Structures are given as structure tokens and as C-alpha cells.
Amino acid sequence: MRKVSLNKRISLYQKQVIRTAAELSEFREWLVAMRKDTDILSLLEDDILYCLKLGEKSFAIVYDDDFECDDEGRIGYVRVSTDTQQEKSTAVLSQAEGIKKYCQFKDYTLKALVFDLNISGDNRELLKVEIVKATSGVEMFRNIRPGLYYVLTNLNKYNKVLSIDPSRLWRDNDVTGSMIRILIEIKNGDFEFVNNPALTLYATDNAMILQNQINYVIADYERRTNNARIQTGRKNAALAGKCGMNSCRFGYRPNKNGYKEVNKQEAEIVELAYEIWKQYKKPGKTAELLNRMGKLRRGKEWKPYQISDLVSPAAQQCYAGYLSYGNEKTWHEELVIIPEGSLSSL
């Protein structure tokens, strides 16, 4: 993996305490902007002690910060790995609600709910970079998963980290998973999973150790099966023209069912842009002429880089009526703006 890709995945740990009404108001605005919906605010309806902003997409809601009290304390941990529809606030809220209900049923004290949002659980490549810089084991997660870092720093013999299932803490039962389990053990802590309460870090006999391993394999199998189902759904939706998976380029719009259709007004501008491009082959000149003729890009003037994108190979395939996902593609006659035969002269 290239270094630039690693840097883009780093979310620097920055602990900011949110206590006052003014700070909470700003925190609410940040949550909505970060998640792009308002449902996330329902997390703040309970009685809370304070909130913590931990990183660009990580935060904590603290109900009781006495982490040294022997009162069956649990630190809830919620993670979603992407910003796709199935993992927006619905998944965030369902995990949080599941943890809270489980604590009520078990008569546990929920100390805090900690969130890592849009953060992958598979950090092996990034871990290689962070391990070199880390001054302690826990530090390696400081900038990869700020929420998990906060959990690990506050974990002790009085508390367990509580999550919906193992995949929220680690993606695979190997490198990252082993490191997290070792760090939890070093902190004299333990984990507990709502969907698999039998799993424990401290297996004491062969039968228990075997059961642990079986549970890990089952959890990993269920995760992989679910991921395969999600990927199949994404592929089918993309190849059918669902705008949520194939974002609508200029020249298209979603219909009432969310599927791509030609926007006739924009399509005329696309055709004109391609005619100008054939003549000049220069992004700046094409943008200048379109702007001069009042053929704007959704109310704003064209920029040269937008013209470059408009005539890119991917855009040409799109305007020729093709929808793609990975190595697969389908052709839809009703989506053609620039006939494929006329693209050969570009």
C-alpha cells in the first residue's frame, strides 16, 4: 500500500472535552456534519456526564468516569467501517442501542459509549507504520482508531470492553485481533460481546479454549458471508444504475426510484462540451467557451479540471451508456448521451 493511502486513513487522536452548553451545541453541529444526518443526535438524549471528541470521526459519550470502581463496569465500543447507506446512523444507533439494552439486562454500569466511525478494522498495513513510532503497545492505535485507543487507555480489571460482536473490535482473527487481545490482557481487562457472550479472553480449560476458537471461526465466517452478500448487493445495484452506488455524473439525475436517468438539459451541455473538446482538446479553452455561452455546471462556472473529468475514459464509458462495477459492466441504451461510435474521434 502506498504511503499516501496510509496517511489518508490516519485520524489523529485529539482529546477534546465537551461540557458546556456552547461546547455541546458545537459538538452537535460537528456530529451532523460528520455523519450527514440528524438521527445521530439521538445518542445525546440520555443523561450524560460529558462528551469527548477524539478524532475526525471518533468520539465518546461518558456517563460515569470512575473507571476504578468495582461495579461491573462496561465501556461500550461501536465501529462502522464505511459511509455507505447500510452503515450510516442506522447501524451506529443499532449497535449503541444493543449495548445499552444488554447492560440494562445484565445490570451492568455503562461507563461510556465510544465510537470509531468510517474506520476500517483491518489495519495491518497501517499498523506496520504505527508500530515503529509507538512508545507503548496501546500507542499503535492512537492515530488509527482513536476510539479504541481511548478504550484501551481506560481499561482495567474493573471494566470490560463491550461490543456487539468481535468484528467491531477486529476484522480478522489474526494480526490485529491478536494484538488487541494481548493489549486487553496487559491492561487486566476483558471483552464481552452482545451477540456472543460465551467468548472470553481467559479460557481456563481445554474445552473452554476449544469453544473460544470455534466461536471465533463462526464469527469470522458470519462476517465474511455478510460482506459477500453486501458486495453482491452493491454490484447488482451499480450495474442496474442505482445512483447510491453509481453516483450520478453531470448529465444524469436519479429518478423517483433512485435509478439513473438522463437529465436532458445537462445532456445537451455534455454534447456541446464534447463538440468543443473535439475541436480544441484543451480543458481551459473548453471551460472558457462553455462559460461564455452560459452553459454552466449546475449554476456554477466550469473549471478546467472538471472538463478533464468530463472527457476522461471513465466518463466516456458512462456517457456511452455503460455502467460498471469492478471488472463487470452492462450497457443501457436509455442512458446514452454520447454514442460510442463518435468517441473514436476524441
Q: What CATH code is carried by the domain that includes residue 126?
A: 3.40.50.1390
- What CA–CA distance (Å, rounded) separates 255 from 253? 6
Say what the pLDDT of residue 336 is. Answer: 95
The pLDDT mean for the chain works out to: 84
Instruction: Provide the β-strand partners of residue 17.
Output: 52
Q: Verify that 277 and 207 share a domain, yes or no.
A: no
* Structural domain ending residue among the three candidates 204, 230, 256: 230
Quick one: what percent of the chain has pLDDT higher than 90?
Answer: 45
CATH code assigned at 292 = 3.90.1750.20
* Structural domain ending residue among the three candidates 206, 230, 254: 230
Q: Verify that 181 and 316 share a domain, yes or no.
A: no
* Structural domain ending residue among the three candidates 178, 202, 230: 230
Please tell me the least confidently modeled range out of 73-82, 180-189, 241-250: 241-250
Residue 317 domain-assigned? yes
Residue 63 domain-assigned? yes
2: confidence class by pLDDT, cuts 50, 70, 90:
very low
Q: Verify that 31 and 179 share a domain, yes or no.
A: yes
Q: Verify that 166 and 302 share a domain, yes or no.
A: no
Q: Verify that 190 and 267 share a domain, yes or no.
A: no
Q: Verify that 267 and 201 share a domain, yes or no.
A: no
Residue 235 domain-assigned? no
Q: What does DSSP say about strands 50-55 and 328-331: parallel, antiparallel, or unpaired?
A: unpaired
Residue 75 domain-assigned? yes
262: confidence class by pLDDT, cuts 50, 70, 90:
very high
Q: List C-alpha distances in Å: 122 to 81, 84, 109.
A: 9, 17, 30
The pLDDT of 95-121, averaged and rounded, is 90
Q: Verify that 249 and 220 share a domain, yes or no.
A: no
Residue 213 domain-assigned? yes
Q: Verify that 10 and 67 share a domain, yes or no.
A: yes
How many domains are contained in the chain?
2
What confidence tens digit (pLDDT) does each residue in 6-56 have? 344 445 677 899 999 999 999 999 998 888 778 888 888 888 999 999 998
Residue-number span of the structural domain to which 137 is assigned = 3-230
User: In this structure, are residues 137 and 186 in contact, taking their beta carbons and an 8 Å threshold?
Assistant: yes
pTM of the entire predicted model = 0.62
- Residue 241, pLDDT above cutoff 90: no
- Residue 296, pLDDT above cutoff 80: yes
Q: List C-alpha distances in Å: 140 to 144, 232, 294.
A: 8, 34, 53
